[in-house]
Amino acid sequence: MLKKTDIRKLSLTALQDQFLEMGEKSFRAKQVYEWIWKKSAGSFEEMTNLSKSLREQLEERFVINQVRISEQQKSNDGTIKVAFELHDGHHVEGVLIPADDRMTACISSQVGCSLSCKFCATGYMDRKRNLDASEIYDQVVLIRQLSEEHYNTPLTNIVYMGMGEPLLNYSNVLESVEHITSEVGLNMSPKRITVSTAGISKMIKKLGDDQVKFNLALSLHAANDSKRDTIMPINESNKLDVLVEALQYFYSKTSNKITLEYIVFNKFNDELTDAAELLSFAKKFPSKINIIEYNPIREAAFLNAEKDKIDDFAEFLREKGVNAFVRRSRGKDIDAACGQLANKKKTVAES
């Protein structure tokens, strides 16, 4: 038996070539391509404008390795966490975050992560593999369905802030964005998409060279090298001055303002001296700052800063003319908040 080809790994041109080999017209390939990426078909049987014999040929030659939801939990605040099962048995997690003015999908780009950030549950996992573009795309499709089922509201925003480092899965992430934003895909605006990185400077520059249209966020969390080295090992090879240069380059190529993400840890980076360092960093390129509550995990001893400290921290930045926003955590009770995704299958199943 011939090994089946994953049809979603083929470009439209490659798919057209395959159809010509099969003795079919190339326009049939366009029809299938639309079924896959615009209509999110999970089987060839769904492709009802194709003949039965063609659908049978497709079934013999190709496979659609569709992601499925294996578990889901709904938080007291309405946040929904999803465990996705991949075709090879691996799992990743994603989150639907509802708000008054938006519905946001937080999606994963890798099974596990290799960066070992000390405050992040995913950082304590091994990286098993990168996700294919289609596996990233499927997460968006499935979370969009949950948004419509639970809230009768379409998905409005996507953040690549789930499991993994997106810029270490560069080509698949960019291909997934293409399928999500294309007119022959989900047709979402790239301005509604944010890709978050822990700080891979050479790949940030590559984003600039590729003149991406989506938004970029940097998980900063400390604005001096000694503190950032302590919590984010990636900083040892991507020091802050190197990141500044990369972010300036990115802005010069794209004109996209950068978002700085800053988790405020109790008695670690929550003083006004830390805010002053953050201010200095943020002034070096057009940016805004999201100040994020920490969500404790059992693997680490970090605690969230006190509310008054967080508010004073934000106010200091605002008084200096910086756009700073405090992001309150959502989904804490189901381990769906920022930094808590870690494939806790037992926890999911027991809920």
Give CA separation, 277 vs 220, 223, 238, 280, 309, in Å: 12, 6, 17, 5, 16
Give dist(CA 173, CA 99) in Å, integer: 25
Report how far apart, in Å, the C-alpha atoms of 348 and of each of 131, 142, 147, 341 are.
Answer: 22, 18, 20, 11
Phi/psi of residue 89, each to 5°? Answer: 95, -10
181 alpha carbon, distance to own chain's centre: 15
Active site residue 338: yes
271 vs 70: CA distance, rounded Å: 42
How far is C-alpha 70 from the chain's CA centre? 19
Catalytic residue among 93, 135, 175, 261: 93
Q: What is the SS3 assignment for 50-110?
A: CCHHHHHHHHHHEECCCCEEEEEEECCCCCEEEEEECCCCCEEEEEEEECCCCEEEECCCE
The catalytically annotated residue of 236, 319, 338, 350 is: 338
294-298, Cβ contacts within 8 angstroms, sequence gap of 24 or more: 294/119, 294/263, 294/264, 294/265, 294/266, 294/339, 295/329, 295/332, 295/337, 295/338, 295/339, 295/340, 297/119, 297/120, 297/121, 297/124, 297/339, 297/340, 297/342
Q: What does the DSSP 8-state code read for residue 343? A: -
Catalytic residues, by residue number, are 93, 338
